[in-house]
Structure 1
Amino acid sequence: MNASHKKIMSTLKSYVRAGKLPLMLVLFPFSLGKDRIGLELFRERINLSIQRTLTRRYYGKKISYDYNSRQYKNVPDNQVIWFMWLQGIKQAPKLCQANFNYLKRNFSSQVKLITAKNLFDYVSLPNFIIDKWQKGFISNTHFSDIIRIQLLCTYGGTWIDSTVIAKKEFVLNLPEFSIPQTYGPGKNGHSIPVSNWFIHAKKGNPFLMRVRELLFYYWQGNNHALDYFIFHHFLVIASREMSGYLNRVAPLDNTLPHFLMLKMRQTEISIQELKCYLEKFQLMKFTNKLENDTERKNYQKLVKLLEEMR
């Protein structure tokens, strides 16, 4: 089973856990077995139902718990670049290692590598989150969501996923708050038109503080994620609570950064062509889950170029 099929099966299982089996059975005959678009429509309809469920439970919820962490490290507020690989960078895929080294070449000590060993040197987390992570109720993926928002609320700065290449000039000229979003007309019909693989914010950003409050409160009362994109759902809900916060921030497109990743999956690209793309684009999202030989060959070239980039 390839990475794509595994992701589909994992997604379907999460929908069942979310109590959406009746809706799935109704939609299934009309959505699957035809093409990829049918699957996307099926997934979007389930996501919309999940978001409505979460909205009913959490929108406007008054939460009295204090989830704040004190700053354990003396680092400049709002200037840190956060990069995480829980097992340590030597255990990371080659792309992630090359990307980390690229950031270090450009930003030096501003780049902070977060691992399972040093995480709590930077922030604290509620005991219930640590306990559920250690017991496997919270996956490493969802634990990463928790870590990024705790770091950004506590220190500010820029969270860059390990498979995201961000150019120096782009990072240096970010507005006060930045997060990738899908904009109209592509936004129409999307229940979660926002991503979290790149977030730039000032310490104590009120929007992220509210997202953290909702996310932590959710995990306080639940032992599994209602949806893989639970963090994204709370981004949307918090934005609605705050009079459309995400509609009022400087735009950062969520679509174009995926262009090269998708092209590399379909077509073998020459070193020269790949180099041109890397020079042209300022923000690029890639993946560690490679599906075919064409993609693997392209990623070998990408890693080589990234190791040479300044």
Structure 2
Amino acid sequence: MKLDSIVVYYKSIWYLMKYFNFSTVIRLRIYPLLKTLFRRGGYTNLSHEAVVLYVRKIIASVVEEYRTKPNNLDVIKASDNIWVCWWQGKDDMPPLVSQCYKLLLSKTNGHPLILITKYNYNEFVSLPDFIIDLVDDGKMSITHLSDILRIALLKTHGGLWLDATYWVTQPININDLVFYSPKNMISNEAYISNNRWAVNCLGGAKSNKLFCFVYDAFMCYWKENNALIDYFLIDYLFFIAYENFTDVREMIDATPYTCPDLISLDLNAVYNPQKLCDILERNLFLKLNWKQIFREYNSLNELTNYGFFMSQKG
């Protein structure tokens, strides 16, 4: 295990001890680690299995309810909304987020664009009081409220959810797809999604079985818990749907590959027109990170990718 992985591991133990109990720590962290240390091939994240079992037990009734439900195979339409959320509102966006939003406005390809904030979210979805109470009590972060919000919006209205730090490189054309999410041909077992989907970009018609299941599973989980068993709970719910419902698995597997370099762009690298042009041509979206420090010019006064990006007018 690398140093950063060890730090994350011990932080997760402290968190589980604080909000759950020692037996949960044993099942979800210590036992999987001991098991994998003696496994041929070295360390792998077997805690995924433990988290899946824990969550699957809590939401077992939801899984059984959806096992026989048919999927809604309606497709994404040109009239469906694109949803972006910045909780504080447009005027409080950091520069990179504001630039992403500005460029998105020119790439919607006719889709209405709706910015979700703390001031207007309840105009589009109605969340149960106990969810809002969890946020007000500090037991659920805005980040994880947004996980529920995106699923609620898609379940109720359909369309495309984009995280606010998505750089849209070309007019969005995902119409006629039953489901859309960026995926990668390269496997990455460090994450339960294994690059088969990215929950920061999700599209589909309203009442899609996956969105309905994940929403109901969220409600079931939070009625029983006041804390997250894992930061990526939404991905575990997607995985449980993927493993248990053949129609959902086939729908996800049928999603086209559109973003082979989704998270690989180095914004601080020197701007190379041909290299960046190639990346923009082969990726519909690029996922950026507003929390990092970027500079428009490096120490040699050379334009960076970030500088190029911030200079775009849409």
* TM-score between both structures, scaled by the size of structure 1: 0.76
SS of structure 2 residue aligned to 1:144? helix
For structure 2, the 5+ residue unaligned runs are 66-76
SS of structure 2 residue aligned to 1:165? strand
Distance (whole Å) between structure 2 residues aligned to residue 295 and residue 60 of structure 1:
52
* Change in 2 beyond 3 A, CA 1:247/1:125: same
SS of structure 2 residue aligned to 1:210? helix
The alpha carbon displacement at 1:148 in A equals: 0.3
SS of structure 2 residue aligned to 1:150? helix
Aligned to 1:70: none
Distance (whole Å) between structure 1 residues aligned to residue 114 and residue 5 of structure 2:
34
Aligned to 2:94: 93
- Do residues 220 (structure 1) and 227 (structure 2) align? no
Q: 1:233 aligns with which of 211, 232, 236?
A: 236
Aligned to 1:177: 179
Alignment of 1:63-78 (within 5 A): none
Deviates more, 1:245-254 or 1:220-229: 245-254
Distance (whole Å) between structure 1 residues aligned to residue 271 and residue 230 of structure 2:
38
Aligned to 2:157: 155
Amino acid at match of 2:105: K
Over aligned residues, Cα RMSD in angstroms? 3.8
Deviates more, 1:88-97 or 1:296-305: 296-305
SS of structure 2 residue aligned to 1:101? helix
- Do residues 302 (structure 1) and 303 (structure 2) align? no
Amino acid at match of 1:97: S
Aligned to 1:57: 58
The alpha carbon displacement at 1:112 in A equals: 0.5
- Structure number with the higher helix fraction is 1
* Change in 2 beyond 3 A, CA 1:29/1:219: closer
Aligned to 1:243: 246
Aligned length: 284
* Change in 2 beyond 3 A, CA 1:150/1:296: farther
Amino acid at match of 1:240: E
Q: Which runs of 4+ in 1 moved over 6 A?
A: 4-7, 29-32, 292-296
Aligned to 1:270: 271
Q: 2:198 aligns with which of 172, 195, 198?
A: 195
SS of structure 2 residue aligned to 1:232? helix
Identity fraction in percent: 22
The alpha carbon displacement at 1:168 in A equals: 3.9
1:81–1:160 Cα contact (<8 Å) kept: yes
The alpha carbon displacement at 1:238 in A equals: 2.0
- Do residues 20 (structure 1) and 25 (structure 2) align? yes
The alpha carbon displacement at 1:190 in A equals: 5.6
Deviates more, 1:102-111 or 1:159-168: 102-111
The CA deviation string for residues 29-64 of structure 1, in whole angstroms up to 9 with x for no partner, is 8989xxxx98xx45x222221112112332343799
Amino acid at match of 1:151: L
SS of structure 1 residue aligned to 2:230? coil
SS of structure 2 residue aligned to 1:113? strand
* TM-score between both structures, scaled by the size of structure 2: 0.75
1:133–1:139 Cα contact (<8 Å) kept: yes
1:181–1:195 Cα contact (<8 Å) kept: yes
1:77–1:203 Cα contact (<8 Å) kept: no
Distance (whole Å) between structure 1 residues aligned to residue 124 and residue 7 of structure 2:
32
Q: 1:129 aligns with which of 105, 128, 131?
A: 131
Distance (whole Å) between structure 1 residues aligned to residue 182 and residue 141 of structure 2:
23
- Do residues 256 (structure 1) and 260 (structure 2) align? yes
Distance (whole Å) between structure 1 residues aligned to residue 227 and residue 54 of structure 2:
15
Distance (whole Å) between structure 2 residues aligned to residue 157 and residue 197 of structure 1:
13
2:262–2:285 Cα contact (<8 Å) kept: no
* Change in 2 beyond 3 A, CA 1:90/1:276: farther
Aligned to 1:45: 46
